[in-house]
Structure 1
Amino acid sequence: MAYIRLLVCVGILLSLFSCQHTSSYSSYPTTMLRAEQLMDLAPDSAKNLLLRLKDSIPQQSEEVQMYYHLLTVKANDKCYVPHTGDSLMKALVYYYEQHGTPAQRMEAYYYLGSVYRDMHDAPRALNYFLQAVDASEDGKEYQILARTYAQMGTLYMYQKLYDEAMPMHKKAYHYYSLAKDSLLLSYALRDIGRAFTAQHNVDSTLYYYEAGYRAAKQMNDIRRMRAIQNELSGVYLQLGRYKEAREALTQSSAYQSNIASNILIWG
């Protein structure tokens, strides 16, 4: 009899834990969850879905409202909409410091860092990116960690702190690999190549650019292939490998967003 009572108690506890674990997500509007799913592959679509909820969100709970605002900032960031003010993100950071999961706190710190990046305040941006790393509970939030290290590496590059930039980009590649994010691995390799360019190590630059191109080609990611080829053509040019430079540049020219830099390299 005691054994049966024990089984019943364990079952009740497991049920309570399950309810607590899923209650937050079950309270979010379906459209909001769909936007979250689309965020990485189709941020424009995610942004449009979130806009549909704009008028109804004020009637939702504080938890839903805060996560909605976090997703909105995230969608704008992924759509390359510049951040112009820090008020909203500071409120979100304050909220997630008191509530939410470690991953949500990390994202709040990350996007406040992104706000200061766009506002050209590198010291505060780096401070919040570091806080995002420190907020990691077990080092398994691979995607957030990868993006954070990539941003830190880029900021160090802008400040010509090349020795600090290299380990950041290598850590970004490490975490993208752990996350099995094949789409962004190509850019992570390219960023390591850029860091070697700044250190005037042409052989290593070429190795990582070519590896980045192969990674993009393996995924049939035409946009990233062309973007990397555009920079790769400049590396070939430095090495006097003009035939390869011309081939890379010709293929890259098909991607119109690179047209200005293409014209410069052609010249």
Structure 2
Amino acid sequence: MKHLLHIFITVVCIAVVAGCADSAIALLDSLSPAINQADKATRMRYDLMLIKSRDKAYIEHRNDSMIAPVVEYFTGHSDPDLTPLALYYAGRVYSDLGDAPRALDYYQKAVNSLISNDNDRLRTYIYTQIGDLYYRQGLFEYALNANKKSLDLSYALNDTLF
């Protein structure tokens, strides 16, 4: 059962990455009863993927009740892939809540937790969000610097459509 659940969550993650956010939310919601019986690691991965899929579907985050335990879990377990992702989505949540200082803090923690250049796409997203926050605060020089970093990373990734 545990392996089947991990496989199903992986399939859902692929659907999220492929841009099927609404379908991913429906799939994740259908897993909710089984997730309640799962171990903590699986529940935290599930919550992170649910937050991610809702964000990709442009569903505004209304509170931090779901992301706070996820961040606490992944920062305590130092997962090289999921820790930066959890910190990034904490930034997204606090950005939606209008708490720019806290969002910037989480974005900076996410950048600092990225170990290698393998995560340059996430680094690009982080700097884009940082630039957007600075722009909305009227800090245009900081916004320009963050967006330049994002653009430079995009070019390095040959992502000209970013």
- TM-score past 0.5 threshold: yes
- Give the aligned partner of residue 106 of structure 1: 84
Please list every run of 5 or more consecutive structure 2 residues that lacks an aligned counterpart in the other structure: none
Distance 1:33 1:91, change over 3 A: same
Alignment partner of 1:37 is 2:17: no
- The structure with the largest alpha-carbon Rg is 1
Q: 1:83 aligns with which of 61, 77, 101?
A: 61
Higher relative contact order (CA 8 A, sep 6+): 2
**Conservation of the 8 A alpha-carbon contact between 1:27 and 1:64:** no
Size of the aligned set, in residue pairs, is: 160
Q: 1:65 aligns with which of 27, 43, 47?
A: 43
SS in structure 2 at match of 1:68: helix
Normalised to the residue count of structure 1, the TM-score between the two structures is 0.56
SS in structure 2 at match of 1:33: helix
Alignment partner of 1:128 is 2:106: yes
Distance 1:178 1:49, change over 3 A: farther
**Conservation of the 8 A alpha-carbon contact between 1:31 and 1:49:** no
Distance 1:169 1:137, change over 3 A: same
Alignment partner of 1:159 is 2:147: no
Return the letter of the residue paired with 1:136: L
Please list every run of 5 or more consecutive structure 1 residues that lacks an aligned counterpart in the other structure: 1-23, 189-267
- Give the aligned partner of residue 96 of structure 1: 74
- Distance in 1 between the 2:5 and 2:124 partners? 27
**Conservation of the 8 A alpha-carbon contact between 1:58 and 1:65:** yes
- Distance in 2 between the 1:101 and 1:178 partners? 25
Normalised to the residue count of structure 2, the TM-score between the two structures is 0.89
- Distance in 2 between the 1:166 and 1:31 partners? 41
Equivalent pairs: percent with the same residue? 30
| Cα deviation 1:197-248 (Å, max 9, x = unaligned) | xxxxxxxxxxxxxxxxxxxxxxxxxxxxxxxxxxxxxxxxxxxxxxxxxxxx
- Give the aligned partner of residue 46 of structure 1: 24
- Give the aligned partner of residue 206 of structure 1: none
